[in-house]
């Protein structure tokens, strides 16, 4: 056996993490993100162990050990990719494409099996030298290439996530991907060092055997330990935060606006939107009150440019619709200088797909935020020269519908707030346009009209703060019968009147509990201020809808702040 200080150190450091990961796999068997992380670390270390057994000479002493050898080096990049997808809440996408990620592993598993049979049959098919060359150089070179290829894929996955739903504000998206990107960068760095070691062995005759790999393995093992412990800590923090977010989302699910948006946005997107509280109210109220009664494409696009975008303090806004037959984007609605009145555009512009900032956004399916147009040669002049531009594609189920575009005479005018709102509006627009001409939940009825009036009353005057507000007084306000009002609330909110009104009171209470300005208020005082008429009613409603007590809710927010 060929023991030395270095392979002894490497083996003694890698075996504990192997055993630890095996234990962790059974402890966290229900959480896919943890599972991907543990399996990735476990199999990555087993790759090192397999090579160490050869280096030590253990496989010469016990040749049957080679039968157990597996090409885990081709499984590890796929597992890290699975971890990336799971971490970003996109496990289903990974599972659908899993077979493609496993192709290299399956191919080399077949090759390993063939080589094992070749050895058992005393090298009947390939000589020992050829078999060794395939099992060493070809195997390793392919593993490095696959690892770097998957690194590019992971970078693409992360960037797509950051671009999805308008690259939600920094604290929501970029903060979440920051840790993942750091881990990814270290992985890529180590792979390049691995590549340099392989090249150096070929260039320098004095470099031979496994000695050049000892420092490399040490670096990888150090990374795996760091990834394990830092990853567990990070995922635990994310889990606690997600629990709080889901409890908050549960409390707003009864809201008509949010329940309508659930047909458009995923749960993860809704949680992210809910974090952006400074911006979400306008978008939700707009969606609930403006788009329902629009029956055709023209009404939808003009309503968006005039009634929504105008509220954002923009100089200009244009919606382009994609003409598939001619492969061009055509201006269909405008707010600003392009608005000629009576739903007509002054000198409507047509932009070929891929041309200009608008055409580029449409072709790539990604937003374009140009801080200084003077430095961007793609700019196409429309009604007047401006300094900055924001273009967001309108896409439904992967199909391009059009582009939402705005220009401004100031440089650096557009920011993440504009980007978030544009992406939300683009998604709402895409969904609404896809429902045009169909029987859908967005059609306006008398029920919706009364319900909208009720929502507006609750939002503007907050009558729910009156603990004696009942079904009769609300029906009198709307001038409809008690029975009809009860039917409307049950139908459109999915809850009874008591739960409906308590939802508003709970939101009021939550705001106060999370606000340091009310830290001197007792829990019961906050409940009474929110419209509840007793301590028990408040506690029971809060626990039922939020999943935790008011005291626990306040404490969690204090810890987070």
| 331-357 residue pLDDT tens | 988 887 777 677 778 778 899 999 999
Residue 422 has φ and ψ, to the nearest 5°, of -65, -40
Instruction: Measure the CA–CA gap between 129 and 133, rounded to whole angstroms.
Output: 6
Query: What are the DSSP calls for 418-433, one per residue?
Result: HHHHHHHHHHHHHHHH
Instruction: Measure the CA–CA gap between 311 and 299, rounded to whole angstroms.
Output: 18
Average pLDDT on 525-535 reads 92
296 or 183: which leads in pLDDT: 183
Smallest Cα–Cα separation from 102: which of 67, 75, 128? 75
Read off the DSSP letter of residue 445. -
pLDDT at residue 532, as a whole number: 93
Instruction: Measure the CA–CA gap between 353 and 365, rounded to whole angstroms.
Output: 11
Read off the DSSP letter of residue 313. T
Residue 455, pLDDT above cutoff 80:
yes
Q: How confident is the model at residue 465 (pLDDT cuts 50, 70, 90)?
A: very high
Residue 403's DSSP bridge partners are 320, 393
Sequence-distant (≥ 6) Cβ neighbours of residue 347 within 8 angstroms: 338, 383
Smallest Cα–Cα separation from 39: which of 22, 27, 19? 22
Residue with tokens 């995922």: 235
- Strand-strand pairing, 328-335 and 350-352: antiparallel
pLDDT (tens digit, 9 = 90+) per residue, 241-269?
767 655 655 554 444 445 455 555 655 56
| CATH code reported for the domain at 279-435 | 3.30.450.40
Q: Which of 157-166, 278-287, 552-561 shows the lowest per-residue confidence on average (mean pLDDT)?
A: 278-287
Query: What are the DSSP calls for 228-244, one per residue?
Result: HHHHHHHHHHHHHHHHH
Q: Can you give the length of the chain in residues?
A: 561
Whether the model pTM is above 0.85: no
Residue with tokens 């008011």: 550
What percentage of residues in the chain have a pLDDT greater than 90?
30
Instruction: Measure the CA–CA gap between 414 and 241, rounded to whole angstroms.
Output: 30
Considering the chain, what is the average pLDDT of its residues?
A: 82
pLDDT (tens digit, 9 = 90+) per residue, 91-110?
888 888 899 999 999 998 98
What percentage of residues in the chain have a pLDDT greater than 70?
82
Residue with tokens 């830290």: 519
Give 349: exposed, middle or buried? Use CB within 10 Å, 0-12, 13-18, 19+. buried
pLDDT at residue 301, as a whole number: 85
pLDDT at residue 393, as a whole number: 93
pLDDT at residue 113, as a whole number: 86
pLDDT at residue 362, as a whole number: 94
pLDDT (tens digit, 9 = 90+) per residue, 365-381?
888 999 999 888 898 88
Average pLDDT on 391-410 reads 90
Instruction: Measure the CA–CA gap between 25 and 116, rounded to whole angstroms.
Output: 30
Q: How confident is the model at residue 531 (pLDDT cuts 50, 70, 90)?
A: very high
pLDDT at residue 170, as a whole number: 42
| CATH code reported for the domain at 446-560 | 1.10.10.60
Query: What are the DSSP calls for 495-542, one per residue?
Result: S-HHHHHHHHHHHHHHHHHH-GGGTTS-HHHHHHHTT-SSHHHHHHHH
Query: What are the DSSP calls for 324-381, one per residue?
Result: TTTTEEEEEEEESTTB-STT-BSS--EEETTSHHHHHHHHHTS-EEES-GGG-TT---
Q: Which of 48-57, 189-198, 292-301, 421-430 shows the lowest per-residue confidence on average (mean pLDDT)?
A: 292-301
């Amino acid at each position: 056996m060929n023991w030395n200080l270095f392979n002894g150190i490497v083996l003694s450091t890698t075996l504990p993490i192997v055993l630890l990961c095996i234990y962790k796999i059974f402890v966290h068997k229900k959480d896919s993100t943890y599972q991907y992380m543990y399996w990735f670390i476990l199999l990555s270390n087993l790759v090192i162990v397999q090579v160490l057994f050869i280096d030590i000479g253990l496989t010469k002493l016990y040749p049957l050990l080679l039968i157990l050898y597996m090409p885990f080096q081709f499984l590890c990049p796929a597992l890290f990719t699975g971890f990336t997808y799971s971490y970003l809440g996109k496990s289903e996408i990974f599972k659908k494409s899993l077979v493609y990620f496993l192709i290299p592993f399956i191919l080399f598993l077949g090759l390993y099996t063939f080589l094992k049979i070749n050895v058992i049959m005393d090298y009947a098919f390939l000589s020992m030298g050829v078999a060794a060359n395939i099992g060493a150089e070809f195997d390793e070179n392919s593993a490095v290439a696959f690892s770097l290829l998957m690194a590019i894929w992971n970078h693409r996955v992360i960037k797509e996530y950051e671009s999805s739903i308008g690259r939600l504000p920094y604290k929501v998206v970029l903060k979440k991907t920051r840790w993942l990107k750091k881990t990814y960068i270290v992985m890529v760095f180590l792979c390049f060092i691995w590549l340099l070691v392989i090249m150096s062995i070929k260039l320098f005759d004095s470099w031979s055997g496994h000695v050049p790999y000892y420092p490399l393995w040490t670096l990888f093992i150090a990374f795996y330990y760091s990834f394990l412990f830092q990853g567990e800590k990070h995922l635990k923090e994310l889990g606690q935060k997600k629990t709080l977010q889901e409890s908050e989302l549960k409390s707003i699910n009864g809201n008509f606006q949010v329940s309508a948006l659930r047909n458009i946005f995923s749960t993860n997107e809704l949680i992210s939107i809910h974090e952006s509280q400074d911006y979400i109210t306008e978008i939700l109220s707009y969606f609930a009150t403006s788009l329902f009664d629009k029956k055709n494409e023209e009404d939808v696009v003009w309503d968006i440019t005039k009634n929504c975008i105008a509220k954002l303090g923009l100089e200009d806004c244009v919606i382009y619709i994609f003409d598939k037959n001619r492969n061009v984007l055509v201006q269909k609605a405008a707010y600003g200088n392009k608005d000629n009145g009576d739903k007509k555009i002054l000198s409507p512009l047509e932009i070929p797909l891929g041309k200009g900032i608008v055409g580029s956004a449409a072709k790539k399916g990604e937003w374009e935020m140009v801080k200084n147009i003077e430095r961007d040669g793609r700019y196409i002049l429309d009604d007047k020269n401006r300094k900055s531009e924001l273009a967001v594609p309108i896409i439904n189920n992967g199909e391009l519908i059009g582009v939402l575009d705005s220009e401004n005479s100031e440089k650096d005018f557009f920011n993440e707030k504009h980007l978030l709102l544009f992406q939300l509006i683009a998604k709402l627009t895409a969904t609404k346009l896809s429902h045009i001409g169909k029987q859908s939940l967005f059609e306006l009825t008398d029920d919706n009209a009364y319900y909208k009036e009720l929502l507006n009353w609750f939002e503007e005057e907050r009558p729910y703060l009156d603990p004696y507000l009942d079904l009769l007084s609300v029906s009198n306000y709307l001038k409809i019968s008690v029975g009809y009002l009860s039917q409307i609330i049950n139908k459109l909110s999915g809850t009874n009147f008591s739960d409906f009104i308590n939802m508003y009171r709970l939101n009021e209470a939550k705001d106060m509990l999370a606000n340091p300005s009310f830290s001197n208020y007792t829990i019961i005082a906050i409940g009474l201020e929110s419209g509840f008429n007793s301590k028990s009613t408040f506690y029971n409603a809060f626990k039922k809808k939020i999943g935790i007590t008011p005291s626990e809710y306040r404490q969690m927010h204090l810890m987070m702040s």
